[in-house]
Amino acid sequence: MKKISGPQFAKKATMPTRNMRGFSLLEMMIVVCIGLIMAAITFISLQPALKDGRVNNAYDTALSQMRTARERAVSERTRYIVSFGTTVPPLAIGQPVPTDQWSVATWVWRKAVPPNPDPPPTWVSTIELPNDILFQTVAGLPAAAPDGFGAGHVALDFDQGVGAGGLNYVMFMPDGSVHDELQNYNSGILYMARSNDLYSSRAITVWGVTGRIRGWRLVQAPAFKWMEQ
Percent of the chain with pLDDT over 90: 23
Question: What pLDDT is recorded for position 38?
Answer: 80
> Domain 41-228 has what CATH class?
alpha beta
Percent of the chain with pLDDT over 70: 70
Cβ-contact 120, 142 below 8 angstroms: no
* Pick from 10-24, 42-56, 182-196, 202-216: least confident: 10-24
Question: What pLDDT is recorded for position 166?
Answer: 82
Whether the per-residue pLDDT at 178 is higher than 80: the answer is yes
Question: What pLDDT is recorded for position 79?
Answer: 85
Spatial neighbors of 206 by CB under 8 A, at least 6 apart, are: 66, 158, 170, 178, 186, 187, 188, 189, 212, 213
pLDDT tens-place string over residues 22-44:
667 777 888 888 888 887 776 66
pTM, two decimals, is 0.72
Summary mean pLDDT of the chain: 77
> Nearest to residue 158, comparing CAs of 190, 126, 199?
190
pLDDT tens-place string over residues 90-130:
444 344 434 344 444 556 655 555 666 666 677 777 777 88
What is the distance between the alpha carbons of residues 215 and 59, in angstroms, rounded to a whole number? 8
The identity of residue 146, as a single letter, is P
Question: What pLDDT is recorded for position 209?
Answer: 95
Cβ-contact 202, 182 below 8 angstroms: no
pLDDT band (50, 70, 90) for residue 145: very high
Whether the per-residue pLDDT at 151 is higher than 80: the answer is yes
